[in-house]
Amino acid sequence: MEKFFKIKERGSNVRTEIFAGITTFMAMAYILMVNAGMFATLDPQVTYGAVYIATAISAVVGTVLIGLLANLPLAQASGMGLNAYLAYTVVLY
C-alpha cells in the first residue's frame, strides 16, 4: 500500500489516512441522504431511492477514477450548493 499510494512521501501515515477515509465516508453518506431528500420532494414521480442510487453510482465512479487515474486520495460527489440551487430555484420556479 505504501508503494502504490506513496503515503510517507506525501507526509502522511496509514493511521491518518484511515481516519481521513472514515471522515470522508461520513461526509459522503450525508451527501447521499440530503441530495436524495432534496430532489425527492420536488416531484412525486422522482423517488428517494432512485436519486440515492444515482448519486451513489456517480460518486463511486468519480472517486474510483480520480483515485486510479490521478492517484489522488480525493472523493467526488455532487456539489450540494449547486444541487440546492438547481432544485429550489430552477426546478421549482
- What are phi and psi for residue 58, nearest 5 degrees? -65, -35
- If one compares 3 and 81, the residue with the highest pLDDT of the two is 81
- What are phi and psi for residue 92, nearest 5 degrees? -70, -30
Query: For residue 75, what pLDDT is reported?
Result: 92
Banded model confidence at residue 69, pLDDT cuts 50, 70, 90: very high
* pLDDT(93) > 80: no
Banded model confidence at residue 7, pLDDT cuts 50, 70, 90: confident
* pLDDT(79) > 80: yes
Q: What pTM value is reported for the model?
A: 0.78
- What's 4-46 look like in SS3? HHCCCCCCCCHHHHHHHHHHHHHHHHHHHHHHHHHHHCCCCCC
Query: For residue 29, what pLDDT is reported?
Result: 93
